[in-house]
């Protein structure tokens, strides 16, 4: 499987809430780096921690949370996914849309590193109950 197909499969598994497929795609010692200022973000290590704290955290804080990829940039073992997050904050009920760039390193069919670059302000505003439109 090509690296870009591995990354596409990750987004598909996330959308389906398929934890088993996520485990199969993530290297057991994956490095997951979320950008500074991302709500609940951190530097995580290991597939189980990513599934529980990253994916699980997003689903508990946001209703209808989606990571919608608009374009994949295939650079061999490196893949960039460009897109938008969408969701409604579970407490304030404020919707948000935030752009992102995700950079993946893939080795032997597994994601070994993820780096996130995103506009965190729409998420923070929704958490605060502010309207930024």
Residue 70 resides in a domain: yes
Model confidence band, residue 14 (pLDDT cutoffs 50, 70, 90): very high
The dihedrals phi and psi of 123, each to the nearest 5 degrees, come to -70, -45
The CATH number of residue 93's host domain is: 3.10.450.50
Among candidate residues 59, 130, 119, 51, the one with its CA nearest the CA of residue 84: 119
Report the relative pairing of strands 110-118 and 26-33 from DSSP bridges.
parallel
Domain enclosing residue 108, as ranges? 3-128
pLDDT for the residue 56: 84
Residue 76 resides in a domain: yes
Residue 79 resides in a domain: yes
pLDDT for the residue 57: 81
pLDDT for the residue 52: 92
The pTM assigned to this predicted structure is 0.93
Residue 103 resides in a domain: yes
pLDDT for the residue 59: 80
pLDDT tens-digit map of 49-100:
999 989 888 888 899 999 999 999 999 999 999 999 999 999 999 999 999 9
When divided into structural domains, the chain yields a total of: 1
Residue 60 resides in a domain: yes
Residue 48 resides in a domain: yes
Look over the chain and give the mean of its residue pLDDT values, rounded to a whole number.
Answer: 94
Residue 133 resides in a domain: no
């Amino acid at each position: 499987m090509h690296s870009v197909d591995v990354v596409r499969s990750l987004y598909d598994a996330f959308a389906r809430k398929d934890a088993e497929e996520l485990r199969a795609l993530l290297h057991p010692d994956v490095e997951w780096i979320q950008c500074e200022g991302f709500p609940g973000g951190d530097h995580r290590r290991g597939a189980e921690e990513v599934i529980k704290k990253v994916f699980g955290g997003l689903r508990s804080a946001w209703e209808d949370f989606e990571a919608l990829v608009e374009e994949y940039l295939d650079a061999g073992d490196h893949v960039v996914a460009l897109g938008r997050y969408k969701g409604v904050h579970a407490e304030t009920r404020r919707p948000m849309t935030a752009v992102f760039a995700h950079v993946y390193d893939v080795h032997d069919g597994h994601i070994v590193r993820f780096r996130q670059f995103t506009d965190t302000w729409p998420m923070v505003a929704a958490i605060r109950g502010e309207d930024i439109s």
